[in-house]
Chains A and B, each alone.
Chain A
């Protein structure tokens, strides 16, 4: 299979501005990995290095055993067999949709090129659009043509650079699903660069959270969410409830009561326990902790209730399904369900 192997890649622009600081990442062949990070974390630089538009200062990139980048080696982009889907699609505005898709099909005769282009348009659900010009398509359609264009020459890897950014949120989920289906149908390995946590978690098989030019955690979406590597990752991939705790066996004692620990730490006794707001319940009976409601935000599908728990410095967030049964100023009990993770207290906050 065509595994993508990124090893100890470094890149700095001038002195002191290190963008990639020895980044490691392995993407198994055929899977869709999301590179998730805040703006400026180096994810776009990483993508451009993998695609061959930038030279790495150190480190190597291999794809299916082929060395693309290594000390003294730099395969030009046109020989990497890596398709790219840039932001907003970047279709060639002077070429029709069919000619856009066929652009990378060299060495085939005319009929074969057309056949392949039709096939690809069919795959992304746009058969019959071949004769249109890019400006005659909607944003989502342009994005799907861009994917068809990238997939047409059967690349070993497809890089998607925040491809859904320009789409409005109503359209985004649909295009995302289509892209995922098309990628799965071709079996191509894919890397999706994004700063959108929901997009990464809902689309990818593997999520690599990048911070300061390194991978902070690389795991399946549910593991990144429920077993974050550290409090920063926890807060970055979703809303987090962080409380201090003392561990004993596979349980921790916290101001919110006893919390079962997902991965019982070895040797660590005092630390921070990470929970998700949906693991907390508002309850009147059997409450381990009580507090005063300070704020209620209603989102439609659920609501977030902020509770100042008695004896705690910082308030905690509780996600409740549907309309919240409490009002600011009211008293409520709080109970924890499910498992939390225990982490050492960080010395330096990121």
Chain B
């Protein structure tokens, strides 16, 4: 089964960094030791490819700005100020406002129950409640829509998005709960505060950064989601951009809408990294000497179990069950095994190409981010993380614009799609590479240098072999997210090409659920393999 430790193994819109990446980046071994002093400049052999990667990553952002303002700021402003835009904005914000609090309630309550109480089977529950991360939002939407078509619209979109994204709150909050020092709570009790007051005054404030970070990730996920909202026919920004792109030859509206969406997501990412910074400060020392004594639930035991059971049933068992049902009722009349196999192979192929390019581009950036300080290194890393803030639909759109204007032969060709994957998922691969390289002590490079190796030679013979497992894990993760990507694939795929995700989307959109089910099942199964390997690598 897909592993719980891969929160970023998500469909297209999955944000890849942040507190919801608890097992992704093993704690850097000391900032001072991990990095080189400011004096050491990255070698050009690293710096030049890293710049190329960073440039590719920010290209969509730059091009979007150019394109949106092409017909003058007035034209763009007319579109932004249009009441349809306001309506889209209102719907996107309403959806976010519904999903984020729901995720906070689910995430924090489940985290507390599984980490700090004597809940029967706490370990099993803690695995089960992270499984929804492996369900792409459009698969969840498919499940609910096929069972209750009446849910289409706000309710269905909110439900599907909540049930796939609450683990983004659960994971950092449970990590924070595990990380808090029980001695602090004991001190509070010894100073005369009861259990409830202690929880409110000592425990909860320490969870706030983790919960806020998780909540922001959920908001980012909701704003950039395309699959669930489009299947649920709920017009948010992403769906508005898609329809406006499909409907009209004037692409400025789509670009202007994209620009507004990007501004919103960039603001969220900035806010998220700020809470993350504070969260780091609030944690005193890694790992506690001993775990906290679990709270006895008493009469609350049954309600607690019922709560966990309901969440797992609704978020995990229900989509799988629905899928099973449609697979069972389907027949060779509703789907063709040859097409399924072909689509699966195509999906594997493009995902492999995407993962390969992304990993290759991430390597120099990750090494520089891990080993060098200074403004240039910082800028490079930040640029590579641009994809973190860019919804798949906007990346696709900007690459379409760019290709049509400057690289016509690439338009609707595979390389463009692979580039989109690289832009979108560079953050995943850079974060993995950086974490892996930080783990390889720089003193080993020093030793290699003193034994006659050039800087690149030391990198090749010492650092890269040591970081290889982490880099490979990043590649596997990138492979999984490429496979699940929907909006960019929809816009950029060569004519006639289908991936499992686009096929699932088309069939579900047409209401042929039995025809869609095999593609969903194939996608989950294929994505589960690397996720499983990844989980084993980490444990």
Contact = CB atoms under 8 A, between A and B. Distances in A.
Interface of A: 13, 51-55, 76-80, 82-84, 86-87, 90, 92-94, 103-104, 106, 149-150, 153, 155
A78 B452 contact: yes
Interface residues of B, number: 20
| 3 nearest A-B pairs in the assembled complex, by CB-CB distance | A104-B451, A77-B449, A90-B443
B444 interface: yes
A150 B450 contact: yes
A128 to B, nearest CB: 23
A240 B466 CA distance: 49
Given A104-B451, A149-B451, A53 B446 contact: yes
Contact of B39 (A55, A76, A86, A103): A55
A93 B444 CA distance: 9
Contact of B451 (A52, A54, A94, A103): A103
Given A78-B452, A83-B450, A90-B441, 5 more contacts: A52-B450, A76-B449, A77-B446, A78-B457, A104-B450
B266 interface: no
B449 A53 contact: yes
Interface in B436-458: 441, 443-444, 446-454, 457
A155 B449 CA distance: 13
B37 A54 contact: yes
11 contacts: A53-B446, A53-B449, A78-B450, A78-B451, A78-B453, A78-B454, A86-B447, A90-B441, A90-B444, A103-B451, A104-B451
Nearest to B447: A90
A76 B449 CA distance: 8
A107 to B, nearest CB: 9
Contact of A83 (B443, B451, B457, B465): B451
A92 B444 CA distance: 7
B444 A84 contact: no
B93 interface: no
B462 interface: yes
> Which one of B448, B449, B453, B465 has the greatest number of beta carbons of chain A within 10 Å?
B449
B449 A86 contact: no
Given A53-B446, A86-B443, A93 B466 contact: yes
Contacts of B446: 51, 53, 77, 84, 86, 90
Contacts of A79: 452
A80 B450 contact: yes
Contacts of B443: 86-87, 90
Contacts of B454: 76, 78
Nearest to B440: A93
A84 B450 contact: yes
A106 B452 contact: yes
A106 B37 CA distance: 29
B433 to A, nearest CB: 17
Contacts of B450: 51-52, 77-78, 80, 82-84, 104, 150, 155
B452 A104 contact: yes
A155 B38 CA distance: 28
Interface string B17-41: 0000000000000000000011110
A94 B452 contact: no
Interface string B408-446: 000000000000000000000000000000000101101
Nearest to A104: B451
Contacts of A106: 452
Nearest to A11: B39
B447 A149 contact: yes
A77 B454 CA distance: 8
A86 B444 CA distance: 9
Given A54-B39, A86-B443, A90-B444, A78 B449 contact: yes
A96 B448 CA distance: 15
B451 A153 contact: yes
B289 to A, nearest CB: 22
A150 B465 CA distance: 21
Nearest to B451: A104
B449 A52 contact: yes
B454 to A, nearest CB: 6
A92 B460 CA distance: 13
